[in-house]
Amino acid sequence: MEEIKIQANEIKKLKEMVTSLENNYELSQINYTEEERKNISMIERIKTLEKDLTLEKPLRDIREILWTSIIDSINDIWYSIKDHF
């Protein structure tokens, strides 16, 4: 009878260990998922910063401003020429 109590206690301890391990595993899975999400976010941010460093956006903006100015200038000159004839 004493042996059965000892085995029952061992089984109880083993069940507690399994439950603890399962909880730790679930927690580690949650942490892993969160870290993975952070990594993906960081990678996207790095790509954005790399584009900014290559001056892609500022150069595009400058080109747009420059072409707008050129077109406005040509339109002004064209109306001036047109009025003389």
- pTM tops 0.75, yes or no: no
Mutual orientation of helices 56-84 and 2-53 as an angle, nearest 10°?
30
Alpha-helical runs (H) found in 1-85: 2-53, 56-84
pLDDT at position 85: 62
* pLDDT tens, the chain, 85 aa long: 888 899 999 999 999 999 999 999 999 999 999 999 999 999 999 998 888 788 888 888 999 999 999 998 888 787 777 666 6
Are residues 36 and 42 in contact, defined by beta-carbon separation less than 8 angstroms? no
Residues 6+ apart with CB under 8 A from 58: 52
CA 61-65-69 angle, 5° bins: 170
